[in-house]
Structure 1
Amino acid sequence: MFEFLQHLDSLHQGFWYIALGASLFFLFQTVFTFIGGHHGGDFSTDFDGNLHHDTPFQLFSLRNLINFLLGFGWGGVAFYDSIGSKTLLIIISILIGIGFVVLFFFLIIQILKLTEDNTFKAENLIGKVGEVYLTIPAKMGGKGKIQISLNGTNHELQAMTEAEENIPSSHSVRVIYIYDETLVVAKI
């Protein structure tokens, strides 16, 4: 299968071995990333990094090493016959490897920007306006229901009021605070 490598000079063989080995390892990393494999530290994906630190990018990681070797190896293979100077070829291959690391870092940053925490937290409703769905009894005398939107999702939640009068259906209310997992609202 790899007989063609036997007739190449040592630098060209080196580029091929690096390119093929890095490609194989990159393939394993990619497969384990998508199937969620946690098969030891060598295949760690670490997509849950916190971008709010001063240094979100770990320069010396296994993933970056593989990305560098991928660019370095395939860059060397691709330009081996085009560039006569072996020193220049190695320098260009190094730059391509660094470019792969930078490109991968940029892609991960963009992917992490797409993630959004849509977990429902009642605390996020304080100050928001909703509409009464079932009449809310006065003076915290019982529970009614309101419909309220948070992050583009409508929720139907139990609500109470401290007001002196019942708040009938279809009236707008503002969430004031949360009492015992029930929204306390005031008529607007």
Structure 2
Amino acid sequence: MLAWWESLDALERGFAFVAFPATALLLIQMVLTLIGLGHDADADLDLTIDIDGDGVPDIPDISAADAASIGDHDAGVGAGLQLFSLRGIIALFAVGGWVGLAFLRSGTDRGLAVLLAVAAGALAMVLTALILKSFLRLQYNGTLDVRNAVGLCGTVYLTIPPARSETGKVTLLLQERLTQIDAVTDCETPIKTGAEVVVVGVSGKTTLIVQPKG
């Protein structure tokens, strides 16, 4: 292994520096995702997937029309392709790093190898976004009730601005479905992407109210 590393030039080592940690993170994400989807309670993952927390408090009922509209509203998760997710960026670096290193080691022109690496990484990011979009879309149907999210733990997917000024997004498992749902917070500071949160209420028909966990 040491001899192989010493045989790399500076650019090849640069690609390797990117590829190795990105691949490790990608594998960890895959394992944690599989573990998370196989459990239905009492586990929180430090990625964009979180497992159900404990208990769902009673809250006021919403109308049948509102409940039926929830699936249509949140199916908008698939309406826009979110390329720059954590998974997408990791896929970009992992695939781009290995492709670049492979082409350089095969004797490909350095400039061309860099371009091919960037193209492969970008393609991986797009494919990751498409897969996530399709997967999330399949999770929604008319029976989804955001009231059941109260008390659950989730992970911030898009930063949640402070004092309900704007909405962000959280990812959690709701009714055994991986979901991304609009969220606001009463906190005076924004809750950054990747932070763990607890759902404490529902605002309107489909927006969760969250606060930092712990």
TM-score normalised by length of structure 2: 0.46
1:61-86 CA distance string (max 9 Å, x none): 32221011011111112211345321
Backbone CA RMSD of aligned residues: 2.8
Contact conserved, 1:72 with 1:96, CA < 8 A, in 2?
A: yes
1:19 is aligned to 2:16: no
In structure 1, the partner of 2:159 is: none
1:45 is aligned to 2:69: no
1:17-68 CA distance string (max 9 Å, x none): 211111100011111112126343xx2238xxx4415863333332221011
1:4–1:105: structure 2 CA closer, same or farther, 3 Å change rule? same
Residue identity (%): 30
2:126 maps to amino acid: V
1:35 is aligned to 2:35: yes
1:67-82 counterparts in 2 under 5 A? Answer: 67-82=91-106
1:96–1:83: structure 2 CA closer, same or farther, 3 Å change rule? farther
Larger Rg: 1
1:94 is aligned to 2:118: yes
Aligned positions, number = 116
TM-score normalised by length of structure 1: 0.52
* Structure 2 unmatched ranges of 5 or more: 37-42, 51-73, 146-214
Picking from 131, 156, 180, the partner of 1:107 is 131
Q: Which has the higher contact order (CA 8 A, sep 6+)?
A: 2
Contact conserved, 2:26 with 2:90, CA < 8 A, in 1?
A: yes
Q: CA deviation at 1:119?
A: 4.3
1:57 is aligned to 2:61: no
* Structure 1 unmatched ranges of 5 or more: 122-188
1:112–1:55: structure 2 CA closer, same or farther, 3 Å change rule? closer
Contact conserved, 2:82 with 2:129, CA < 8 A, in 1?
A: no
In structure 2, the partner of 1:7 is: 7
